[in-house]
Amino acid sequence: MKRRIALIALGLVVFLVTLALTIPASQAYRLLEGELPLDAMELQGNLLEGGADTLVVEGIRIDQVRWRLDTSALRSAQVVYHVSGQVADGQFSGRVSPGTDGRVTLSDVRAEVGADALVRLVGETHYPATLGGRVDATIRDAELHRGQPVRLDGVVNWSGASVSALGETVALGSFGARAETTAGGGLRSDLRNTEPGPLDVDGMIELALDGTMTGTTRVTTTDAASEELLQGMMALGIPDPTETLDIRFEGNINDPMGFHGRLQ
């Protein structure tokens, strides 16, 4: 008798799990719409595998979203999804594992987007310049709690960096940063050249949860520095840009025009 009850209970659990996973994504969204911090348009598929033409999360538009449940992770009692999509003029993909108490684990995340599109996407003000180059990020492992980083191990590169304004374009080079979380929940990263360019850079950056960024960096111009770059540095108040400069800067990524620095 007990064996029959156990088998019936197991069969019921399997049925309910299968029903939950195979319910159409559009129907599941209607059931949970008031509980989810996003707006979804044109949902297809189900919770096992599906997609959405567009998701809007905290004002950020994500297009061509696709997800697929990693059924192999279920053997270790984990729920893991392969997720991909497009943001601005870039794209991303990775593994996402939702947990309890608002925790989410990310792994094998790769993202790539234009530098200018990225700043305009997250910034709250407009600025009279255009950033050139592409930003790519690789996150090996990260954990978020209620949207804030608890643990992060990743690398961010800005390749072909440049600034264009008033009809002039100034090449800066290519840079990379290895990021990790701080005790206060923000991010800390070193800043280095990823290939030879007009600037040799060696520094450290800290990013707080409210978007405040502070950092120190040592900058040296090389023989590849253009006349436009040297003149631009002098316009920023640097008397001799050919000397090695120790600079401390601060600002907020939500207001790119508010950044300011000073020589140490």
Q: Could you tell me what percent of the chain has a pLDDT over 90?
A: 25
Q: What are phi and psi of 2, to 5 degrees?
A: -60, -35
Q: Range with the lowest mean pLDDT among 31-40, 71-80, 227-236?
A: 31-40
Give the dihedral sign, CA 214/220/221/222.
Answer: negative
pLDDT band at 256 (very low <50, low <70, confident <90, very high): low
Alpha-carbon dihedral 98, 101, 105, 111, rounded to 10 degrees: 80
**Exposed, middle or buried: residue 52 (CB in 10 Å: 0-12, 13-18, 19+)?**
buried
Distance CA 203, CA 263 (A): 14
Residue 244, pLDDT score? 92
Nearest Cα residue to 23 out of 43, 39, 4 = 43
111-to-8, 83, 100, 207 alpha-carbon distances in Å: 46, 12, 26, 19
Task: Give the C-alpha separation, 158 to 175, whole Å.
Answer: 5
User: Which residue's structure tokens are 């100034």?
Assistant: 170
CB atoms within 10 A of CB 17: 11
- DSSP codes joined into one string, the chain: -HHHHHHHHHHHHHHHHHHHHHSBHHHHHHHHGGGSSEEEEEEEEBSSEEEEEEEEETTEEEEEEEEEE-GGGGGGT---EEEEEEETTEEEEEEEEE-STTEEEEEEEEEEEEHHHHHHHH-SS--S-EEEEEEEEEEEEEEEETTEEEEEEEEEEEEEEEEEETTEEEEEEEEEEEEEE-TTS-EEEEEEEEE--SEEEEEEEEE-TTSEEEEEEEEEE-TT--HHHHHHHHHTT-S-TTS-EEEEEEEETTEEEEEEEEE-
What is the reported pLDDT for 11?
Answer: 44
The rounded distance, in Å, linking the Cα atoms of 148 and 259 is: 23
Mean pLDDT (whole number) for 169-177: 90
- Please compute the mean of the pLDDT values over residues 141-147 and round it to a whole number: 80
pTM greater than the 0.75 cutoff = yes
Q: Which residue has the higher pLDDT, 219 or 122?
A: 219
pLDDT in tens, 231-246: 888 887 888 888 998 9
**pLDDT tens for residues 179-205?**
888 877 788 899 999 988 899 999 999
The pLDDT score that the predictor gives to residue 91 is 94
pLDDT-derived band at 19, boundaries 50, 70, 90: very low
% of the chain surpassing 70 pLDDT: 82
pLDDT, greater one: 88 or 74: 88
Domain extents in the chain:
1-87, 96-263
Query: pLDDT tens digit string along 99-129?
Result: 777 788 889 999 999 998 888 887 666 767 8
Lowest-confidence segment of 34-48, 77-91, 99-113, 237-251 by average pLDDT:
34-48
Q: Residue 36 has what pLDDT?
A: 62
